[in-house]
Amino acid sequence: MEDYTKIIFALIGGLGLFIYGMQIMAEGLQKSAGNKMKKLLEILTNNRFMGVLVGAGVTAIIQSSSATTVMVVGFVNAGLMNLAQAAGVIMGANIGTTVTGWIVSSAEWAKFLNPSELAPLAIAVGVAMMLFAKSKTIKQIGEIIAGFGILFVGLEMMSDAVSPLRNSPVFAEAFVTLGHNPLLGVFAGFAVTAIIQSSSASVGILQTLAAASLVPWNAAVYIIMGQNIGTCVTAMLSSIGATKNAKRAAYIHLLFNIIGTIIFSILAVVYFYFINPTFGLELISMTEISIVHTIFNIANTIILFPFAGMLVYLSGIFVRGKDEEDESGLRHLDERILETPTFAVENAIKEVVRMGHMAAENTKLAIEALLEKDEKKVEKVFKREKNINVLNRTITPYLVKISNSPINEQQSSLVTGLFHTVGDIERVGDHAENIAELAQFAIEEKVQLSDSAILELRTMAEKCIECFEDAIRAREENDPILAKSVEPNEDMVDKMEKELRKRHIERLAKNECSATSGVVFLDVISNLERISDHASNIALSVLDGHK
């Protein structure tokens, strides 16, 4: 009993180091591949075949098909990806997850490098680069190397832990049983993967057992099938509380792996039972597990790729109905996208820009409500302002989470700029609400503005809104040239405010308008001038990111 306790503790400790090494390596890869990941995000909007390539590429970088699929659920939930595109990315994620298996099996096929012996050196070199290098790029490479080393130290611990089991008749008999009972083998792979929430880690455990000469071919094949289903559990749990389309994306992942498992399990049963029964009892190696895992996922993708539309249709049977539109709800942000911080940064920009457009529309609507004396438009401004405030309260905590994620220096600067931009947009929304309140007052008190005052307000509002929209576009495109063009326009708005204030005082002196209309006019141009100030702040935050 004591021996088994030691084996279990050593196995769990090695697994912990293995997963931790994968995480560190993935974080280093994400930071160093920041701009490339951004390009991958742009590709996502293209065809389904490109989605397969993106899914494979992203999973190879973040070392987890579960994380990629969870992120896909987030994209669908945020309305950034349709289900056909999601199906392609999910298929690619299954291919990308085979990379970890090949890294692990390199202990066999790359003996000239001997990764297990190089692991301590890799950790030493990687940590030294992280601690002493001044360049951010070198530090990120250090993270990748250190993670690689820790991964192999964990793998070595697991190998040492299970090596005494090679002489255990109990374990040998257990794997023979799994090999003779396909359903039991599939369930074993499913259960382990579902518990540790990582197919890469469960494949690593299987390879470790194979290295100890414990796993026959037939058991390994069925377990690998089950591991592919087990990795769906993370996405299924993640889709709870998401939109109906996001739930459908999780079901597409599940259906894809279940259908593939059924097809290949039937083929495996036919081969091991009728064509070559003795081969199934032969022991499998780590490299052969990588080969089986890779062939299964690539072949499954090739077979089911033409039927992606059918998977989308089947997911619709499991999840029926439509979601209601909510302007205050986040469209581009989702907790699941934080699995890949580079994508989270890009989507945060989209959400902040959407909030900016809402504030611009509200400013236009408030001016129209004033000049047209339209109470319905006043109410629309008040309603949208509440939605802007909700967005402010939800975007800011999301940005905090991104800033605490593994992002590079450039992305960190961008997130800091977004913090300031959100605050400025929220203040613009407040000024639009102030103008709407002035419009409400003007309607109730039957305030009459002169034709010249109306023309002046319209002209200043157009210039102010143009200034603000240019600042938002500069933020969206991260364009320093466009950002620089905001400042001259803001100066023009300042001059207009002073000139219009002067003219209005002259009109008051000539009794061309009432004191009440004068108060409304002056308050409106004051709010417009402050909106242009916030536009200037947004533009400056863009320029600060380019210093």
92-101, pLDDT tens digit by residue? 988 988 888 8
Q: Is the dihedral of CA 149, 150, 153, 155 positive or negative?
A: negative
Closest CA to 526 of 440, 431, 423, 427: 431
Q: Extract long-range pairs of 32-38: CB within 8 Å, 24+ residues apart.
A: 32/137, 32/140, 32/141, 32/144, 32/408, 33/61, 33/342, 34/342, 34/407, 34/408, 34/410, 34/411, 37/61, 37/340, 37/342, 37/343, 38/342, 38/346
Assigned token pair, 160: 């040492």
Assigned token pair, 215: 């796993």
In this predicted model, which residue has the larger pLDDT, 385 or 244? 385
Q: What is the mean pLDDT of residues 65-77?
A: 76
107-149, pLDDT tens digit by residue? 776 665 565 677 888 889 899 998 888 887 788 888 888 888 8
Which residue ranges form the domains of the chain, and what is each CATH number? Answer: 2-318 (no CATH), 335-544 (1.20.58.220)
283 bridge partner residues? 216
Burial level of 209, CB count in 10 A (0-12/13-18/19+)?
buried
Distance in angstroms (rounded) separating the CA atoms of residues 140 and 25: 9
pLDDT band at 33 (very low <50, low <70, confident <90, very high): low
In this predicted model, which residue has the larger pLDDT, 336 or 275? 275
Q: What is the mean pLDDT of residues 226-234?
A: 86
In this predicted model, which residue has the larger pLDDT, 156 or 458? 458
Say which range, 294-303, 445-454, 466-475, 495-504, has the weakest mean pLDDT: 445-454
At residue 93's C-alpha, the angle toward residues 88 and 94, to 5°, is 105
Q: CA gyration radius for the chain? A: 30
Torsion angles phi and psi, residue 29, rounded to 5 = -65, -40
Distance in angstroms (rounded) separating the CA atoms of residues 368 and 461: 10
> What pLDDT, on the 0 to 100 scale, is given for residue 304?
92
Q: What is the mean pLDDT of residues 232-260?
A: 84
Distance in angstroms (rounded) separating the CA atoms of residues 157 and 154: 5
pLDDT higher than threshold 50 for residue 324: yes
Distance in angstroms (rounded) separating the CA atoms of residues 398 and 498: 39
pLDDT band at 1 (very low <50, low <70, confident <90, very high): very low
**DSSP track, 127-171:** HHHHHH--SHHHHHHHHHHHHHHHHHHHHHHHHHHHGGGGG-HHH
- Which residues are within 8 A (CB) of 39 and not within 5 positions of it... i.e. 6 or more apart? none
- Which residues are within 8 A (CB) of 339 and not within 5 positions of it... i.e. 6 or more apart? 62, 64, 67, 68, 70, 71, 74
In this predicted model, which residue has the larger pLDDT, 259 or 340? 259
Amino acid at 202: S
Distance in angstroms (rounded) separating the CA atoms of residues 396 and 518: 38
End-to-end CA separation in angstroms for the chain: 64
Distance in angstroms (rounded) separating the CA atoms of residues 370 and 374: 7
Closest CA to 18 of 154, 161, 120, 158: 154
Q: What is the pTM of this model?
A: 0.70
Distance in angstroms (rounded) separating the CA atoms of residues 272 and 446: 89
> What pLDDT, on the 0 to 100 scale, is given for residue 430?
95
In this predicted model, which residue has the larger pLDDT, 322 or 530? 530
In this predicted model, which residue has the larger pLDDT, 482 or 235? 482
State the average pLDDT for the chain. 84
pLDDT higher than threshold 50 for residue 328: no
**How much of the chain, in percent, has pLDDT values that exceed 70?**
88
Distance in angstroms (rounded) separating the CA atoms of residues 258 and 18: 27
Q: Give Dmax (Cα) for the chain.
A: 108
Closest CA to 284 of 212, 196, 349: 212
Q: What is the mean pLDDT of residues 32-48?
A: 61
Assigned token pair, 156: 């070595």
> What pLDDT, on the 0 to 100 scale, is given for residue 365?
95
Distance in angstroms (rounded) separating the CA atoms of residues 521 and 531: 16
Q: What is the mean pLDDT of residues 463-491?
A: 92
Distance in angstroms (rounded) separating the CA atoms of residues 217 and 272: 9
> What pLDDT, on the 0 to 100 scale, is given for residue 327?
47
